[in-house]
Structure 1
């Protein structure tokens, strides 16, 4: 069983968070994970060849890693005009936007693509005014969002001076200021080239990437950078084929002194949570709301101090994979089609895949991946059941469902707060959510605790369950197996039990249990009574 106890992540660096985010942004651009890191590797190789010093190459790293970080903030508008926002961002890299005819042909193909003809006709009719307005704003939206992210993550300004220039062109026909030639920073020019050749290499190999670089030499791209890239192309792509893109970039990047302490990490994860939620307007604030519930409810389900921190951090990352699902799916006005359902159900898996290359974040991703699993095996993406779902994941599932139902979605209104307890308790009754986790979340959200028997010495129902088994001589491991939780969770419960009861060992615990009538033939368990409440 994968448990929250295995999280205990090592120290996290800011550049690792940027790298992890970039893998989600890659998917949002219709590229494979590692695209931006590959672009950054290329930029750093070119910087080294050009003789840039260590500080200048650090700036190259940050500008490149943040260059497309804002591309998801207007996904709703992209989907409205072009259908699949991922597809349009992937295909635009194959077009030289300095060629007016090629640009017009591209727009004609993309506007309303995939829509039924009556809807597409309306989209085409509206595009010359509303669509042009929205698309012209997109470059500025992306630059603004990337700069805001850099500021929120405390990236020094000196490390991303090229961030507002990544849409400029060598020939002066770019955005926003029409900078010409070397008026744009080296980092912006290198990121621009690295982005395109990575995308072309994916589709057609190294020869195709070299051909496109040469075709746009002196128009979109810096001629000297094109020449340097073409000289190094085989070696560059050979390295990226053989080595994880993050490792390749780190080999050529000067050391980055950006270790985050616990407080800084929590701030950074909160920033990323809210930033990722920008992908879908209907889910703004969802991850931070879920994390707040997890943090407030963790004590009630017996999570230890480390588990509490790790569960809350996993909650702040749990929907990172939503970046990999087109906006048209999230903003669908009706029930999901079978194809949309398949896409939607990928997002927990994508969260795990995005974080997997980073040892400091990997276990958070594995825990976050479980937030749509259900005790009866009906969840996704893996369809695992109770024995494989640790307490932290059960809590995350309950908190995620509560926070989701409390928000409106394009296909339904928000569920009123007064009705949410019934919704979550129905999930318990049907065997999908954990009763203890649900009650803890409801209390954390301000609802009254479910009616239950008052146990002696302030013991909780789960603690009584554990006490009964311990008094009978069951080991910590045996109790964990019987209750489908981790040994560490049982250890936390036992620590609380001994503190509350004053017992010193199993024998004195048995005496306490006997005196208070806690040694029935069967340990107490939660059953539904006639009025729908759970009682011992």
Structure 2
């Protein structure tokens, strides 16, 4: 298999199917619906990115959107002018954007990077409380003796390790702000995410009003939203009072505590997506080039979740787009495939690096969590009005024609050509890249593996041919099938070999049972078979089916 994410077990995610997902009823193998979609705005794209950030923090999606609304309410109470108010909007959305860049190191220290960040909210993060949190997570999952040794070793180097992690976070956040075209002051603001009013923060120990007001508001709103949602208004007020003058600006803390009921009114009941975007700074729609730049930046930063995937999405994007051109897709579809290639892995941020970077086999629980990530990618992107087709493509890049993929176990009749191209491009690129549990393949070996996936009925033959052509392989002549079998009859024959009856074959291929029966009868006539067993022997002898590849 290509990597931890390419197993064949299905998973059915809970919750509603997101708008723009890959599970449209009756999508079939025909051309997708190319409705003209509105141009996306920067605020919409970064609001979508904030949903991925929420997952990496161990929070439900829309946490940062609600925090943004609260931050803007505080700003309005203080009479903050329009320009810094706009910076407050983006500082709240993106304060934690650098968190994924240190996930590999965080997981190496604490086992589950996402669980560590979730617990971080519930401590006053300095001194003994912070050390206690780190030691509690150090060596998670190790035997007692090894865990004790690991904790002792970490205690001696804790300050240096944490400073390095936070420096990495702040640098990454600033770089992203630069790349997506935000206010020139945003990178500097985001570098203060871990600073504290009392000067006991990191990385520089900045204190008081030297911390930009945009970040002081963002810090308070971020924490309040977590306590409000988990424990109610009294708990939120209590934590702000407790951390007044230490983590939080005393003046901001007093304003919040005095007006907490009004500032938080309806915050948990409203839909934060339209509410936050309605409060976004005034802006024009992104040009095509600007949108491409934002998407490419989002993909690069999502790939930094693990050193094993650095650069993966930009390679998939280029390969898939070239394959779409080769296959004769429309210019609109080529563009959508390219864009989906950049951001297809956004949902990876919702899975711990304890899973992505695991050197051995995954447990059933690990695999179930992992198989949710394409669903998350589709759901994140599907919130943006101009990204519905991109969401359809990204959400299906791990599906397979025979229904063995994930997250929904879609089959051939439910996947369109663009989705098949992205799936083949992602599979091929993943095979080339080393992973913690396996080395990367040479291009020729990856091409052979990809063709085997097509031969086994998991990847579309046309998509595989186009991806390999885009990768520089000469197109192989299509050999005629034995006994004049058609391509559809070959599909039916492989399902027959797996023990399916006519009704099951019809369901798998989304055809009428009568049609399936006719195909089976034609196969028997053409191959001289009289039943499933003799048809299976024919397939094995002709090299048309390989049980080991199933």
Q: Aligning the two structures, in what range does the TM-score lie when normalised by the shorter sequence?
A: 0.7 to 0.9
Structure 1 residue 288 corresponds to structure 2 residue 314: yes
Structure 1 residue 309 corresponds to structure 2 residue 331: no
Q: Distance in 2 between the 1:251 and 1:404 partners?
A: 39
Offset, 1:453: 7.4
Q: Distance in 1 between the 2:225 and 2:542 partners?
A: 63
Mapping for residues 125-524 of structure 1, pairs under 5 Å: 125-159=152-186, 161-255=188-282, 257-452=283-478
1:528/1:293 CA distance change after superposition, 3 Å: farther
CA RMSD of aligned residues (A): 2.4
Q: Distance in 2 between the 1:360 and 1:528 partners?
A: 48
Identify the structure with bigger relative contact order (alpha carbons < 8 Å, sequence gap 6+): 2
Q: Distance in 2 between the 1:532 and 1:418 partners?
A: 21
**Which ranges in structure 2 are unaligned for 5 or more consecutive residues?**
1-25, 481-485, 488-508, 511-525, 527-538, 546-550
Q: Distance in 2 between the 1:143 and 1:307 partners?
A: 37
1:37/1:393 CA distance change after superposition, 3 Å: same
Q: Which residue among 106, 112, 128 is the counterpart of 2:139?
A: 112
Q: Are the aligned partners of 1:75 and 1:279 in contact in 2 as well (CA < 8 Å)?
A: yes
Offset, 1:56: 1.4
1:389/1:529 CA distance change after superposition, 3 Å: farther
Offset, 1:530: 5.6
Q: Distance in 1 between the 2:401 and 2:543 partners?
A: 23
Q: Are the aligned partners of 1:12 and 1:265 in contact in 2 as well (CA < 8 Å)?
A: yes
Offset, 1:97: 2.2
1:529/1:264 CA distance change after superposition, 3 Å: farther
TM-score, length basis structure 1: 0.82
Q: Distance in 2 between the 1:336 and 1:359 partners?
A: 36
> CA deviation digits over 1:258-280, x for unaligned, max 9?
52111121122111111110001
Q: Distance in 1 between the 2:447 and 2:198 partners?
A: 61
Q: Distance in 2 between the 1:225 and 1:107 partners?
A: 29
> CA deviation digits over 1:175-222, x for unaligned, max 9?
233333222211010011011111222321222111101111122111
Q: Which residue among 85, 101, 112 is the counterpart of 1:57?
A: 85
Q: Distance in 2 between the 1:432 and 1:298 partners?
A: 19
Q: Look up the match of 2:13.
A: none
Q: Look up the match of 1:489.
A: none
Q: Look up the match of 1:517.
A: none
Q: Are the aligned partners of 1:282 and 1:407 in contact in 2 as well (CA < 8 Å)?
A: yes
Q: Are the aligned partners of 1:81 and 1:111 in contact in 2 as well (CA < 8 Å)?
A: yes
Q: Are the aligned partners of 1:311 and 1:392 in contact in 2 as well (CA < 8 Å)?
A: yes
Q: Are the aligned partners of 1:373 and 1:380 in contact in 2 as well (CA < 8 Å)?
A: yes
**Which ranges in structure 1 are unaligned for 5 or more consecutive residues?**
455-460, 463-483, 486-521
Structure 1 residue 35 corresponds to structure 2 residue 60: no
Count of residues in correspondence between the two structures: 464
Q: Are the aligned partners of 1:374 and 1:432 in contact in 2 as well (CA < 8 Å)?
A: yes
Offset, 1:531: 7.7
Q: Are the aligned partners of 1:62 and 1:160 in contact in 2 as well (CA < 8 Å)?
A: no
